[in-house]
Amino acid sequence: MLTFYVLMWPAVVAGVLFFIARGFLRDWREARREGHRLI
Amino acid sequence: MSPEGIPGQLSAPLIIALLVLFYGGTLFISFTISRKKENADDYMTAGSKIGFGVSAASMTATWIWASSMYASATAGYTYGVSGPIHYGLWGALMILFIYPFGRRIRKVAPRAHTLAEVMYARHGRSSQLMLAGSNVLGSVISLTSNFIAGGALVAMLSPFSFQQGIVTIAGGVLLYTLWSGFRASVLTDFTQVMAMLGAVVVIIPVVFFAAGGPELFTAGAANVTPQQQSFFSSDAFLNQGAPYIAAVLAYAIGNQTIAQRLFAVREDLIKPTFVTATVGYGATIIGIGMLGVIALYLGIEPTGGDVNNLIPQLAATYLGPVLLAVFFIMIIGALSSTADSDLSALSSIMMADVYGQNVAGRKKADPRTMLLVGRVTMIVATGAGLYFASGQLNILDLLVFVGALWGALVFPVIASFYWGRVTNVAFTAATLSAIALFVPVRFELVPMTGPIGLLVDVLAVIGVGVVLGLMCFGFFGTRVALVVGVLATVVVAPFGIGFLHDYTVLSASLVAYSVSTLVCVALTLRNRESFDFSLIARRTGEFDEDDDVPTADPVPNPTR
């Protein structure tokens, strides 16, 4: 139980990391496709 | 060099290489997006149409700072398994609970740069400067705290001194943020969040298994008390959790770094951005707090008796040289991403609120001068941060104090965006009277006994209703908020009266909420006229016409 409690947080962080990275790639592709700056 | 470093830890050449890699990399990224002639509005809000990936990364990176990592580990070490929850969960909810209000603020002021700028359009100068002043105070404290955390890390893990550490980190952050401002801050936040979160994913399991893995909890059970073993520890809730719940909305309202991202992200992406940042921040900070729980079960004593040394101490004990370097980058990334956001926040307040609206005036504000004001602000703020950091003040205590003080602003600020009858007088009187009562309660300037103790308890109980009511208001509207607020007050009253005044940090914060609410409502009900919210959009807007965007109308002396 406590082992799961300790290790669940890095697992959630990994999920968020994937989600943000995917969002960034979409932003970048959209900016390239539409010919405007990312920022 | 000084003897502060621990022999056998990261060598001087390796530390220099890591710092050059980190700050050289971020400088290169900011260089790739820099323009010879920057746009003043973009310097503050990056065009107000940032996509989900960059904005979610930026909000997450900004809210995760080195001190929050240290504080979460301290909570785990002090209160046991529920400690990190009572630190990280409420800190995460600060991001979540602000987004419904953020959507409303963005709707009435789509082209604003700072929250104080919107308050100027809504009420006038006194409300604006009150909010801007509290924002500046919070950002300078945060900046200083991050410099201190960086200096302490360098001193602990390398042969370099604390002073050398803070100067290097301050210089590195200033260098990559100075030219492009907020644009550089948000883009570098993406790489910093990748490094930080990636490090967290690896470091926590490695330390856990190196420290003994699942066996740790049976072997170390003798080192923990029943309260520390409980997921429902009343110690953790009353001393760590409850004051943070009270501060959930206060930190969010008092922090320009959040407001800046609310104005920068594409309007339809506010919700996914802030929900993602909530989960990202919460999991990262609670996860890092597990290192404190591990230290507690191991029976480790923090170096020099300072609990802030726990994380570096565990890292130095259980990580090899490669992962120790990754750990170093994680902390440097955490403090740099927050420090660059603080610099951007301070520069935008000085550009929009001080120069743009109070010195030159919106009609006459020169974008070139505005950019100069922003850059000079960053340099001055870095100098101030270094000055305060070198004194090594207990800056986190100051931040907790300021955070509680922000409770005085929450109801007047939120009500001003929904309730047309709130006046400048109601806003100002509510905030000042709340501060006037907060200070004597917080510092026990009068004995909390007899009728005074009873009065504080009653106001604190009303404060509980206000806090929970406001939290519900953003998501469910006025009716649900009123029901929850009244119910919470009635339910808490039998337990809270005669008891709450013993917890001065919590009760002072709750008193600030209740007094500002009661005064604001009483004065507002006397006013019969209602403010036209469409005026705000016309009174706020672009300062720089370089990008062919429409400019705002000049403000016709808002006095309401």
A18 CB-contact burial (10 Å; exposed 0-12 / middle 13-18 / buried 19+): exposed
Give the pLDDT confidence score for residue B392 in this predicted structure: 63
Contacts of A2 in chain B (CB under 8 A): 81, 214, 217
Q: How many CA atoms lie within 13 A of B288 on its CB side?
A: 33
Nearest residue, CB atoms, B197 vs list A2, A7, A16: A16
Give the whole-angstrom CA distance, residue B36 versus residue B85.
46
Contacts of B201 in chain A (CB under 8 A): 10, 13-14, 17
Give the whole-angstrom CA distance, residue B142 versus residue B137.
9
Give the mean pLDDT of B425-452: 90
Contact A24 B205 (CB under 8 A): no
- The band of B357, judged by pLDDT with boundaries at 50, 70 and 90, is confident
- Are the C-beta atoms of B509 and B246 separated by less than 8 Å? yes
- What token pair was written down for B434? 């709340």
Give the mean pLDDT of B477-485: 95
A37 to chain B: closest CA residue: B33
Q: Does B200 touch chain A (CB under 8 A)?
A: yes
Give the pLDDT confidence score for residue B5 in this predicted structure: 41
Phi, psi torsion values for A30, nearest 5 degrees:
-65, -40
Phi, psi torsion values for B50, nearest 5 degrees:
-75, 145
- What token pair was written down for B53? 């990936």
Give the mean pLDDT of B127-133: 91
Range of weakest confidence among A30-34, B56-60, B425-429: A30-34
Q: Which comes out higher in pLDDT, residue B14 or B551?
A: B14
Phi, psi torsion values for B265, nearest 5 degrees:
-75, 150
B interface mutation test: which of A3, A20, A28 has the most B CBs within 10 A?
A20
- The band of B329, judged by pLDDT with boundaries at 50, 70 and 90, is very high
- The band of B395, judged by pLDDT with boundaries at 50, 70 and 90, is low
Q: Where are the domains of chain B?
A: 12-405, 406-529
Residue B559: how many other CB atoms lie within 10 Å: 9
3-state DSSP call for residue B265?
A: strand
| DSSP characters over B444-478 | T-S---HHHHHHHHHHHHHHHHHHHHHHHHHHH-H
Q: Does B76 touch chain A (CB under 8 A)?
A: no
Number of residue pairs across A and B with CB atoms under 8 Å?
106
3-state DSSP call for residue A36?
A: coil
A32 CA: distance to closest CA in chain B (Å): 13
Give the pLDDT confidence score for residue A2 in this predicted structure: 85
Contacts of A25 in chain B (CB under 8 A): 53
Q: Which comes out higher in pLDDT, residue B8 or B468?
A: B468
Nearest residue, CB atoms, A14 vs list B190, B201, B208: B201
Residue B397: how many other CB atoms lie within 10 Å: 9
Range of weakest confidence among B271-275, B312-316, B457-461, B487-491: B312-316
Give the whole-angstrom CA distance, residue B502 versus residue B441.
10
User: Which one-letter DSSP state was computed for residue B113?
Assistant: S
Give the pLDDT confidence score for residue B557 in this predicted structure: 44
B192 to chain A: closest CA residue: A17
Pseudo-torsion of CA B257, B260, B261, B264, nearest 10°? Answer: -160
A1-39 residues touching B, CB cutoff 8 A: 2-3, 5-7, 9-10, 12-14, 16-17, 19-28, 30-31, 37-39
- The band of B229, judged by pLDDT with boundaries at 50, 70 and 90, is confident
Give the mean pLDDT of B91-114: 92
Give the pLDDT confidence score for residue B550 in this predicted structure: 44
Share of chain B above pLDDT 90, in %: 70
Whether B543 has a pLDDT exceeding 70, the answer reads yes
Superfamily of domain B12-405 in CATH is Sodium/glucose cotransporter (1.20.1730.10)
Contact A6 B208 (CB under 8 A): yes
Contact B53 A13 (CB under 8 A): no
A12 to chain B: closest CA residue: B283
Contacts of B33 in chain A (CB under 8 A): 37-39
Give the mean pLDDT of B550-557: 45
